[in-house]
Amino acid sequence: MPAAYPVPTKVIQELWDKFTTWIMRSYPIRDYPLNLRPAMVFATAAWIILLGILGMAPLPELPVNDKALHFFGLGFATFLLYFVIDVPEGPGRRVWYIRRAPLIVVGLLAFFIGGIVSEFVQATLPWKTFQPLDILSNLLGSSLFLYLAHLAHLRHLKKQEILSLYQPLSAGGVGRYRDAQGREHRFEGAASPVQETSSARGVGGRGSQGVIWDEESETGSRASDDGNRGGEGGTGTGYGGAGLPVFRIDDEDALPPGNRPGGVQLS
């Protein structure tokens, strides 16, 4: 049979999943109930530097509509800035300003400083002029891309939840779970794979000893069972206050004449 060729769309999807997992990975901030995504910090900083050069430097005019440049430029910066801070699950989410930390950062840095203050700063430059429509373009672009960022964040959380629920229970994956940032953790008190292997060997060893056939013990158990059943109708001091009968008339008839007990024979 011919070898199966890789599907291009599947390869692209796998590469995209790895990229999103890497760029969305967050790390805790010391003494704060928040996480920070370093990849998003560098991407946002690079994009803001590019916007600053285009907006402040005395460059020739680009063959692009100025209002569209403001709309998509600051809008994409808002999109990136929304993912810089991550609020993990924990008691800190009960505080409203911690739970809404990404929105507060976006509203302060993107809407206020980037959309309004930056236009007044550009107006102070001799080669720039103040245009109120630029502020409107900035605010509209930030609003639209903020909504898109919120939808993308919800989709990312749902995907991570599905991945954590449907992980295969392999020998190396037992006792581990994956959080919303894609990092693996071990449950508290979970045994390591080496300990699990050693404990499994110990249990298997005891189980193999338990299935060994012991004829003597089987014979002894049968004899004790017969004794208990026979002692139920006797008059001795066996189990339950009864024992084996000492003499039965049927046994005397079954014996040969020479082996019959002595005494008076009944005719």
Write down the pTM of the prediction: 0.59
Per-residue pLDDT of the chain (267 residues; tens, 9 = 90+): 455 666 778 888 888 888 888 998 999 988 888 999 999 999 999 999 999 988 888 878 778 888 999 999 999 999 999 999 999 888 888 899 999 999 999 999 999 999 999 999 988 988 888 889 999 999 999 999 999 999 999 998 888 788 777 755 554 455 666 666 666 666 665 555 445 444 444 444 444 444 444 555 555 555 555 555 554 444 444 444 445 555 555 555 555 555 555 555 554
Partner residues linked to 186 by β-bridges: 176
Closest residue by Cα to residue 153 from 100, 221, 211: 100
240 within 8 A of 232, measured Cβ to Cβ: yes
